Structure 1
Amino acid sequence: MPISPIDLYRDVLPQTDCGDCGFPTCLSFAAKVVSEQLSLTRCPHLSPETVADYEDRLQEQYAEHKWVKRDTAQDALQWAKERSARISLQDLPGRLGGELVAGEDGPAVRLPYIGGDVLITEQGMHKADGTELTLWEQVLLYNHWAQGGEREPSGKWLGFQELPNTVSKIKTMQTQVYGPLAQCCAGRGEELKRAARELGGEDWTAELESGDAAVFLPALPRIPVLVMFWDRDQEEGFGAEVKFLFDQTVTEHLDIESILFLSEQIRKLLCAHIGRENTKGHKEGTWEAG
């Protein structure tokens, strides 16, 4: 039978709550050992024989994923990979854009992705410059692989709240994307435009004549994003505001969770580029805060 935290606490640990393991109680330590694979050697009051006996049993338990705390990113990645398996790699350029190229281990799809291209193979995916993608970036791209429709963008833009099934996500979009990006860009509309160009985007401010800045970002070949920015007005007491617009076809290519994650990635990249420019300007004595 699998060893539960109670079993470990009752049958193995000293039950003294001494804190020598770094946790306030023996039970909290037992929970970490069982659910997060923390080593029993953290408890200095166990004999080497006891540790060896139970470590072997726990390793078998971990391998069978019993009582182990689930890694949501790994679970999501596995699910996304299973979804994408029904669509062949060779079909991706026609569905997602990009091009089929010869990779080191066989055919690969080179897919433009905001901030740099991605190489997708049967074995996995990574950025074209060799750096790794995060687990959640892989989830995003595998979901796009699985769901990606073939329609090109229509040119009709919709706000996030206008997309279906976003009611429960609007607050998250505001707190994780709009609010932080507005704060980052306040008083720096020109730097937002510059950051967008560095990420392969375009300045659409003059064409749209709406807001203090409007930048077009080709996040993925079939998924453009339009970032609208209204700067703060200190005299009127208005703070800076940001809004993302998506092509009406976006839900044919990504689910809502993936759209939200992509938005967070765009926010991080834009703020990173603006922050880098600010740091450079400050060092050179050319930038003044505010």
Structure 2
Amino acid sequence: MQHILCSKERGKRLGALVMTLVMVFFAMTAALPAAEAVTQKDIDNLKSQAASLKEQKSDIQKKLDKLSNSKNSALDQKFLLEEKINVLREQIALSEQSIQEYGKQIDQKEEELAAAKEEEAKYYDEFCERVRSMEERGNVSYWAVLFNANSFSDLLDQINAISEVMDYDNEVMDNLAAARQAVADAKAELEESKAAEESAKADLETQKADLVKEQASVEATIQEITSQSSVYAQKMDELEDDSASVSSQIAQAEKTYQAQIAAQKKAEEEAARKKAEEEA
């Protein structure tokens, strides 16, 4: 009977000890951080999330690097376009100066041509007046020359003098006409050069307009790349935050998990010790 009572008492004590250990275990786990009853699967899931975030970060970093290279290329292209545009502006400015200079020379040639025509017309009027006067005298003048001549030699001299005057007038008229034609040719040549320069300038203006359009396209590309880079950079920041959060959760979960294992082991050791004492 006493043996039975001792066995019952021992059973009660063992039961009380187990209940105490269970209460201690739950008290210890309750004292741990919020993540309770952490399992290895939970930690593995967090690590899987961390690996996924790392892969996403790597992918976005590649895109950022690619965008950076594209932006650098676009910036180089923009710089070259700006240099070309500046050169074209200088060429256009030189063409404008040449056109202005041709215009001035043409104006000068027009003045010279007008003066040459006026001089030619004036001398032509004088020549006609002289011929008209000689015609009005008609034979009288020639008979006068004939009878007034002291000798045949004198007559020839006077006739030669009249012919020389006529020849001189004709030569002067020819020279005036040649001078007028030379001025007209020079003016025409200048106008042709001016037209060619204006055509060259128009071609330069067209090239400049094309380069300006290309530059605008490159600038738009740069803005688009900058915008995309900003989006990716923001996404990268978010992933960094998420990675930091997951790393913190992994550390906390591992800490909690290790604490749980330690508490369980301690409880088991304590139960074994109590049991050994009871059995002793």
Fold match, TM over 0.5? no
Q: TM-score under structure 1 normalisation? A: 0.15
TM normalised by structure 2 equals 0.15
Relative to total residues, which structure has the larger helix share, 1 or 2?
2
Instruction: Name which one, 1 or 2, has greater alpha-carbon Rg.
Output: 2
